[in-house]
Structure 1
Amino acid sequence: MFRLSALCLLLLGAVVPVSPAAAQDANPAPATGAPAEPSDAQMELARKVLSASDLSRSFDEILPEVADQAKMTLIRSNPQMQLGIIEIVDQVALDMVDRRAELEKRLARIWAINFTEGELNDLLTFFETDTGEKFTGTLVGLLSAQVSVSQAWAKEIGDEMLRRSTQKLQEISKNEAKSLQGETTPQ
């Protein structure tokens, strides 16, 4: 019993309060043309768009990652209880699986406040097409490729910027050195 009580206290100590900035991010500003508070119809359409687009799937790893972080935090503070900690955190994580619906609702709200009903209908129609399905199936790869290409481009631009700036600075330095030599040379 003591072991369970100690684990519960450790779990309570690991809870991190939400910062005001994080709370603000949970309520993004609506896009132009969309109401600040979405209608029930918009929320339903937004849920359908999320489902059809499969875009919320990328958030499926949040709970397992949070559980792993909790395990590491608790084990660091009490390594001799590692097995008990893992067991308890896994149980708590399983108890929280049904809370995934909360995330879906919050994600749908983001879509609902940023798109009108008409736009959500258009998106739903798109995601139900072959092209829309292809888009959702390739989106992660596309985004990854874009990040890689943009990082490579940034490195190229950065290298060129440093090279060209160094050349200009060297030219200025040479000119200043010549100017100083000309002033100090007796005539």
Structure 2
Amino acid sequence: MKIKSLLITILLATSCYSYADSESKQAKLNELVNVMDMDSMVEQMYSQMEAMMQNMSTQLRVQPSEQEIFDDYYSQMVLIMNEEMSWAKMEPLIVNIYDNNFTEKEINDILAFYKTETGQSLLLKMPAVMQESMQISQTLMQASIPKIQELAKNLSEDLAKSRNSQ
């Protein structure tokens, strides 16, 4: 009977400690989201995406007579983005990603870094760095599209030949 009581006490103590540890980590994650100003970063991302979508008008060679049609679709796209990718929807998902990938010690260290002058500088400059990186990636991807299309065509032809010979 004493062993049973001891086991129950140990289990309760362990689960309480684990819950407190989890609460502490959650508080640190929320602080990290605030220090990183992630909601503003998401807003900047939306602005960049909107600029890219507006650029689509040029890429699609939208004529002045078609502008109203384009604007209608553009407005619908923005509405969908605002509804489906709102910060309210993204925040718990992002917090969960950080929770799954970082220990509480790592979160504390990241927090400490982002509270420094260099950390704040990184946060301010990161959107521009990411935008430039995306532009480079898009340029490289555009150059590779014809090669990938040719490869896909060859694959399709080879599969058709293989299926016809069976």
Q: TM-score, normalised to structure 2's length?
A: 0.45
Report the structure number with the largest CA radius of gyration.
Answer: 1
- Kindly indicate which of the two structures has a greater share of residues assigned to helix: 2
* Higher relative contact order structure (alpha carbons within 8 Å, sequence separation ≥ 6): 2
